[in-house]
């Protein structure tokens, strides 16, 4: 069984981290908010939905905090994926939480108290990972999301210019499948190649987030140049802006986007970066950049894809 949740956190007036714990009504335990994946959902989408349902809070996902695995009383194995999720004052003010048959109470507590009152060691492990990030000044992040367009009509089957090739039905389904997952990272800007297949891929994300799509020739396949200087300049602008941004592009261009983020953040090469640069159609990579010191290296790299 797959599930997802978050360490919902905020900073107290004294500058100390507070995290949100849930007292579950039926289980009579204290845990981190989480819930199982619904059919057709991606993990980031599940995490945000479950936080909203259990706590009444609307959050965006920050860096991933890892996966815990354990066996349920009935013998089934369960995997729970966690992210950090900073909770704004506005979100707390607009919380819709009321005690119910699932969650009895919510409590904001410090890290030390969380270690003592959490019912399960694996929850404590996740809290420890968050505490380490916070102590390093790397808990608050923004994301550069690199999205590869969905499956398009093959070039050999298309008579028009390459940039006009449309998505196949599979590509349309892929683009809809990942939209809510991308939205879970609360992007502030959507940028797409001018190619039809990229614009159609990012369109569902635009509808979900309510954001406009900025068309950019620099990340189109027609403008691809081996040096990647123009791509690097665009990525540098987005990192300087320190706002979560989605860049929807093509197979040959995506490695340049990933390489630029790595270079500009002082991040050494890794297998995770290699995977992020080799996305399949409809997949997206999320590169988490620390807000305070972006040059100190990426906090995390993750890759997600459609469920169809």
Residues 19 and 124: beta-carbon distance below 8 Å = no
102 has a pLDDT exceeding 90: no
Identify the weakest region by mean pLDDT among 98-102, 203-207, 304-308. 98-102
**Helices 196-209 and 169-183 sit at what angle, rounded to 10 degrees?**
40
Question: Strand runs (DSSP E) across 38-116, as ranges?
Answer: 64-71, 77-86, 103-110
What 3-state class would DSSP assign to 74? coil
CB atoms within 10 A of CB 73: 5
For 3, what's the count of Cα atoms within 13 Å in the CB-facing half-sphere? Answer: 20
pLDDT at 111: 97
Q: Could you read off the pLDDT of 258-290 as tens digits, one per residue?
A: 999 999 999 999 999 999 999 999 999 999 999
Percent of the chain with pLDDT over 70: 100
Cα dihedral 219, 225, 227, 233, rounded to 10, equals -30
Q: What is the pLDDT averaged over residues 87-105?
A: 91
pLDDT at 258: 98
DSSP state for residue 248 in the 8-state scheme: E
Confidence of residue 239 (pLDDT cuts 50, 70, 90): very high
Checking DSSP bridges between strand 77-86 and strand 64-71, what pairing results, if any? Answer: antiparallel
Q: Could you read off the pLDDT of 17-73 as tens digits, one per residue?
A: 999 999 987 778 999 999 999 999 999 999 999 999 999 999 999 999 999 998 887
CB atoms within 10 A of CB 162: 15
């Amino acid at each position: 069984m797959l599930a997802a949740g978050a360490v919902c956190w905020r900073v107290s007036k004294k500058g100390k981290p507070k995290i949100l714990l849930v007292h579950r009504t039926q289980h009579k335990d204290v845990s981190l908010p989480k819930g199982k994946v619904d059919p057709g959902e991606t993990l980031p989408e599940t995490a945000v939905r479950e936080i909203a349902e259990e706590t009444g809070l609307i959050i965006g996902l920050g860096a991933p905090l890892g996966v815990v695995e354990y066996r349920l009383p009935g013998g089934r194995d369960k995997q729970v994926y966690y992210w950090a999720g900073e909770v704004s004052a506005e979100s707390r003010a607009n919380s819709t939480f009321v005690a119910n048959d699932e969650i009895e109470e919510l409590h904001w507590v410090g890290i030390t108290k969380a270690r003592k009152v959490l019912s399960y060691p694996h929850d404590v492990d996740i809290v420890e990972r968050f505490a380490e990030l916070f102590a390093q000044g790397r808990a608050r992040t923004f994301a550069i999301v690199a999205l590869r367009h969905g499956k398009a009509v093959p070039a050999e089957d298309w008579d028009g210019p390459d940039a006009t090739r449309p998505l196949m039905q599979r590509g349309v389904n892929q683009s809809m499948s990942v939209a809510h997952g991308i939205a879970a990272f609360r992007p502030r800007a959507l940028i797409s190649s001018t190619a039809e297949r990229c614009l159609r891929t990012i369109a569902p994300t635009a509808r979900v987030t309510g954001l406009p799509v900025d068309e950019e020739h620099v990340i189109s396949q027609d403008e691809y140049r081996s040096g990647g200087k123009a791509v690097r300049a665009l990525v540098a602008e987005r990192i300087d802006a320190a706002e979560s941004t989605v860049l929807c592009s093509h197979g040959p261009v995506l490695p340049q986007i990933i390489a630029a983020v790595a270079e500009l953040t002082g991040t050494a090469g890794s297998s995770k970066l290699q995977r992020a640069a080799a996305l399949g159609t409809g997949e997206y990579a999320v590169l988490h950049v620390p807000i305070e010191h972006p040059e100190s290296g990426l906090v995390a790299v993750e890759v997600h894809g459609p469920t169809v």
